[in-house]
Amino acid sequence: MRIVTVRRISQTFFLLLFVWLCIVSSFGMEWWQLRGWPVNWFLQLDPLVALGTMLTTGTLYGGLLWALVTIILTILLGRFFCGWVCPFGALHHLVGFLGKWGKSASYKVAINQYHRHHSIKYDVLLFLLAAAAGTLLAESIRIAFNNSLIHWILIAATVCLAALAVAKSFSKGKRAASICLVLIGVWAVLGFFFGAGQMLGASLQTGLLDPIPLVHRSVNLALLSLADANPQKLSSSQRYYEGAWVIGAIFLGAILLNLKRPRFYCRFLCPLGALLGLLGRFSLWKITKKTDDCRHCKLCEANCEGGCEPAAAIRTNECVLCMNCLQECKHDFITFGALPSSSGEIASPELSRREVMTTLLSGVALLPMLNLSGSTVRNYNPAVIRPPGALAEADFLRRCLKCGQCMRICPTNIIQPAGMEAGVEGLWTPILNFRIGTSGCQLNCVACSFVCPTAAIRPLSLDEKRGRNDFAARGPLRIGTAFVDTGRCLPWAMDKPCIVCQENCPVSPKAIFVREFFSTIRGGVLEVRKADALTVEFRNAALPPDQLATGDYYLRRIEAGERERKLIVGNTASLATVRPDQPFSPPPGPSARLEIQVRLQRPQVDVKRCIGCGICEHECPVSGMRAVRVTAENESRSRNHSLLL
Amino acid sequence: MNHPEEDRAIDRRQFLKRSVKAGIAIAGASLFGYALYDPTGPVSSEDRVPGLVQLPSFSPSEDGQRMAIVTGADRVASINLAFKALGGIETFVKQGDRVLIKVNAAFASPAFLCATTNPELLAEVGRLCFKAGASSVIVTDNPINNPESCFALSGLGEAVRSIGASLMLPRDAFFKPTTVSGGTLIKNWPVLYTPFEGVDKLIGIAPVKDHHRSGASMSMKNWYGLIGGRRNIFHQNINDFIKELGLMVRPTLVVLDGTMTMMTNGPTGGSLSDLKATNTMIVSTDQVAADAFGVTLLGKTALDLPYLQKAEAAGVGTAYYESLHPIRVQTG
């Protein structure tokens, strides 16, 4: 079998596997729904996820260790992941192939040439990693400036080495040395000005452009939800995701760009491709030309996926190992081997010193500038309700990939991609919306905390969520608090009995309790024409027939005498009948005044018991802006948001 | 290609070199991954145990609690007389001591409204400390209004400068978490700790003020200004909280200024009609005793302030101030 066929089989297999893993993340009782598949496997294989979270947290969480497999294979073989595994890459490959279908060989050769803007993806990578390195930087500054000279020297040496390593990846010789020097200078200046300040920090933004989180997000939120609507439903109910169209449009845009240039995203934008290119630039085996004796017919470049120019000096860091050149070369000059290419190799991306510096510095500066909004501290947005188990906001943003796995798995569809609610850095991170889904956060569900690949939502046991057994002392986990809006609530503002919220409160004892209140209805003070023990006829009354017989309305004398309320069991426009076992004695005389009262149960929230699950908000009959709404106050994840002692 | 065999040898050498590099890279990546591997994930913020700090005790000696009550309208004269009655400030401040003064700078309001520690009083106490040989005097508070504005408008900032003391305005980095032993409210809570580092003596200077939630704001409630974070939630249980403040802060002595007492509209005041000349200056090593006497200036008794009983029961001091045999003097 030809190597290209093997590659195609591999791509098809991994693409189908990816789609399958997305499908099995659907909630339901069918055999293909939520049955313990390793649904995060692609995210875990992704070295950019691993590296990003390592920079921001200093740890490598759980399954992210899989990234080592990709890293090791890339060091040995080059960017095999892009050409053989990546599901996004496979899609680009396919659409790019369709785009150049039937075009002349010279056209194909032309669009598959290396373009100097291929280096943009390295800028993207550097920018995102620099933004993720802020905490590490702050920590190194803190340790260095707070400790003895020896510490200082040790740290400075480490920083030198790290800077040199970064610089060397991008260029050689003098340029590398000067980049390194400037980086150290910047580090020292930062330390001098910021010291142990709190502004310097990290934000994990790699997920915006990292292809695996991107394609997960797009498939989870924009594509599968469309499939949810068809008769062979994936989910038991239609899933909604606020702003999913933006995510879908970006996905489609990325796919359509292949018609302009094959693998546009991979060549120009993909930060993962850039990282793998850097890791694989000295790979042991690679595409090489056996002899320089070739006629430079350039046919090998007609279907070159990476735009790496195998006919000339091959750019190993651009090559995605599509192996098309092996097949195209009629003279069998090209092979996959250990010897360097006879027409030379270019292993480093072409980035200017200036470019590297600007990108790194703006990356490091990103978070301090975002921090100026104060949205992770005093100016936090109470509308940002995170799923149960979410870490405190700053820690959360250091881990969340915006991959949308929690949003797909949430049985009630309440986990939604944030727009600007959580700040720019919180774009597409999970926030809860209790109106859009099918209920609130289910009391006995911890699915999102288990699916989260980076523990931005840390794994919770049901005991911890419910505050049972070992966690009894701490009590249940709270994600917010419900507040009754007395201006919108039916019993509070409109004299209508309701308490749906109280009935649906899942906490035991209930966090929503009621206070009884009798309210005289509008135009409810009437004069008696005549009355007996059970029936009263009013003067000038226009009561809605039968509508006071709902069991909620009472008659009571206003003036002296018997003040007990009598339940109305029937009425006409001018007559009201009371319960036979609650007769008036004596019956009110003519001209006596009576009032009609409605018995209301006004809901109130016991803050100590409320867990913020939002079921009350979801069930509230005031369908637009609910009369009971949850905001983030008193959420367990932040001490500073607590409401009670 | 004149020497293909030589070329191949070079290629072989290069391949070996590259293999070694790749091996090192793989080993490095694996080691890194192994070292940082975290199979369980992060713990909840409630489970994270931070390095807790404790404020040191400055209380002179448990047996010899002392108190002076001076009657007079001139704060400078009164405070001098009070220290004289207690054997001079040298009894408390020794040569070379670093003294921390916690004032009540809570509001950005002028000194004559008496919502804050009086600046002349602060200056005089500071001067006396220097006279007794203090090597440095530090003044601090974490006020309710904006710190710079408070110290500027109350005149306290100028007072600090005039005597050559140093002012430590609160900064985020100055707060460290503390837990009060014997308490239930102040747990892992940020306290204004940095000003206490290397300090030998602590003096609290507070005015006597009406306070709606706790009944009165005096020496003990003045420590509220050492607390950081969203401290306003402690109003839900103000009496136990003030008791815990008393457990947390054991001062060398407190100066309770009842020269002008804010009788109404406290603790902000805002009008001269809120004030009453009560012409009293209290200096005490026992903060509970000082407040128990101070509350009488507001026309209340110690029983009106539950925190005094609670503090006494917790061993902070005695609300029966007569047991200290306070020295009563009058300015000329």
Per-residue model confidence (pLDDT) at position B78:
97
Q: Is residue A492 situated within a structural domain?
A: no
Structural domain count, chain A: 4
Residue among A40, A56, A59, A386 with most chain B CBs within 10 A, to mutate: A59
Q: A43 and A192, same structural domain?
A: no
Chain B interface includes A69 (CB < 8 A): no
Per-residue model confidence (pLDDT) at position A272:
98
Do residue A60 and residue B36 have CB atoms under 8 angstroms apart? Answer: yes
Identify which of B29, B32, B44 has the shortest CB distance to residue A72: B29
Do residue A392 and residue B29 have CB atoms under 8 angstroms apart? Answer: no
Identify the domain containing residue A166 by its residue range: 134-201
CA–CA distance from A139 to each of A135, A168, A202, B38 (Å)? 6, 24, 11, 20
Q: A81 and A62, same structural domain?
A: yes
Summarised one tens digit per residue, pLDDT across range A389-405 is: 999 999 999 999 999 99
Average pLDDT in chain A: 90
CATH number at residue A468: 3.30.70
Q: Is residue A53 situated within a structural domain?
A: yes
Cβ neighbours of residue A124 closer than 8 Å, sequence gap 6 or more:
A209, A269, A270, A271, A274
**Spatial distance between the Cα atoms of B73 and B67, rounded to a whole number of angstroms:** 19
Q: B73 and B37, same structural domain?
A: no
Q: B97 and B153, same structural domain?
A: yes
Q: B71 and B37, same structural domain?
A: no
Q: B13 and B87, same structural domain?
A: no
Q: A292 and A168, same structural domain?
A: no
Burial class (CB in 10 A: 0-12, 13-18, 19+), A608: exposed
Q: A312 and A235, same structural domain?
A: yes
Do residue A458 and residue B41 have CB atoms under 8 angstroms apart? Answer: yes
The dihedrals phi and psi of B330, each to the nearest 5 degrees, come to -130, 140
CA–CA distance from A479 to each of A121, A160, A466, A613, B42 (Å)? 38, 44, 12, 7, 18
Residue A177 DSSP one-character state: H
Q: B156 and B301, same structural domain?
A: yes
Summarised one tens digit per residue, pLDDT across range A261-303 is: 999 999 999 999 999 999 988 788 989 988 878 888 888 999 9
Domain boundary among A201, A231, A252: A201
Summarised one tens digit per residue, pLDDT across range B115-149 is: 999 999 999 999 999 999 999 999 999 999 999 99
**Spatial distance between the Cα atoms of A413 and A409, rounded to a whole number of angstroms:** 8
Q: A93 and A222, same structural domain?
A: yes
Q: Is the pLDDT of residue A140 over 80?
A: no
Q: Is residue B56 situated within a structural domain?
A: no
The dihedrals phi and psi of A161, each to the nearest 5 degrees, come to -60, -45
Q: B158 and B281, same structural domain?
A: yes
The dihedrals phi and psi of A529, each to the nearest 5 degrees, come to -85, -55
Helices B306-313, B238-248: axis angle to 10 degrees equals: 40
Q: B167 and B23, same structural domain?
A: no
Do residue A75 and residue B22 have CB atoms under 8 angstroms apart? Answer: yes
Per-residue model confidence (pLDDT) at position B203:
97
Do residue A338 and residue B15 have CB atoms under 8 angstroms apart? Answer: yes
**Spatial distance between the Cα atoms of A642 and A483, rounded to a whole number of angstroms:** 14
Q: Is residue A215 situated within a structural domain?
A: yes
Q: Is residue B62 situated within a structural domain?
A: no
Report yes or no for ipTM above 0.90: no
Summarised one tens digit per residue, pLDDT across range A332-346 is: 889 998 888 888 888
Closest alpha carbon within chain A to B185: A645
Chain A interface includes B38 (CB < 8 A): yes
Cβ neighbours of residue B285 closer than 8 Å, sequence gap 6 or more:
B59, B60, B64, B65, B66, B67, B92, B251, B252, B253, B254
Q: Is the pLDDT of residue A604 over 50?
A: yes
Cβ neighbours of residue A262 closer than 8 Å, sequence gap 6 or more:
A92, A93, A96, A97, A99, A100, A111, A112, A305
Size of interface A-B (CB pairs under 8 A): 90
Q: B116 and B4, same structural domain?
A: no
**Spatial distance between the Cα atoms of A491 and A499, rounded to a whole number of angstroms:** 8
Q: B141 and B171, same structural domain?
A: yes
| Residues from chain A contacting residue B25 (CB–CB below 8 Å) | 75, 279
CA–CA distance from A228 to each of A91, A235, A252, A575, B134 (Å)? 22, 6, 19, 55, 77
Amino acid (one-letter) located at A582: Q
Q: Is residue B55 situated within a structural domain?
A: no
Q: Is the pLDDT of residue A162 over 80?
A: no
Per-residue model confidence (pLDDT) at position A27:
83
Per-residue model confidence (pLDDT) at position A170:
66
Do residue B41 and residue A61 have CB atoms under 8 angstroms apart? Answer: yes
Vertex A380: Cα angle to B42 and A415 (nearest 5): 60
Q: Is the pLDDT of residue B256 over 70?
A: yes
Q: Is residue B60 situated within a structural domain?
A: no
CATH number at residue B143: 3.40.50.11440
Q: A92 and A21, same structural domain?
A: yes
Identify the domain containing residue B6 by its residue range: 1-45
Q: A398 and A284, same structural domain?
A: no
Q: B135 and B41, same structural domain?
A: no
Q: Is residue A19 situated within a structural domain?
A: yes
Residue identified by tokens 């950081």 is: B228
Per-residue model confidence (pLDDT) at position B17:
87
Per-residue model confidence (pLDDT) at position B1:
41
Predicted confidence band of residue B2 (pLDDT cuts 50, 70, 90): very low
CATH number at residue A519: 2.40.30
Domain boundary among A163, A178, A201: A201
Q: A233 and A186, same structural domain?
A: no
Q: A545 and A530, same structural domain?
A: yes
Per-residue model confidence (pLDDT) at position A509:
95
Structural domain count, chain B: 2
Residue A599 near residue A552, CB atoms below 8 Å? yes
Q: A528 and A461, same structural domain?
A: no
Q: A300 and A249, same structural domain?
A: yes
Count of residues making up chain B: 332
Per-residue model confidence (pLDDT) at position A66:
96
Domain boundary among A456, A479, A502: A479
Share of chain A above pLDDT 70, in %: 94
Q: Is residue A624 situated within a structural domain?
A: no
Q: A99 and A74, same structural domain?
A: yes
Range from A120-124, A351-355, A605-609, A630-634 carrying the lowest mean pLDDT = A351-355
Secondary structure (DSSP) of A222-244: IIHHHHTTSSS-SSSS----TTH
Do residue B42 and residue A395 have CB atoms under 8 angstroms apart? Answer: yes
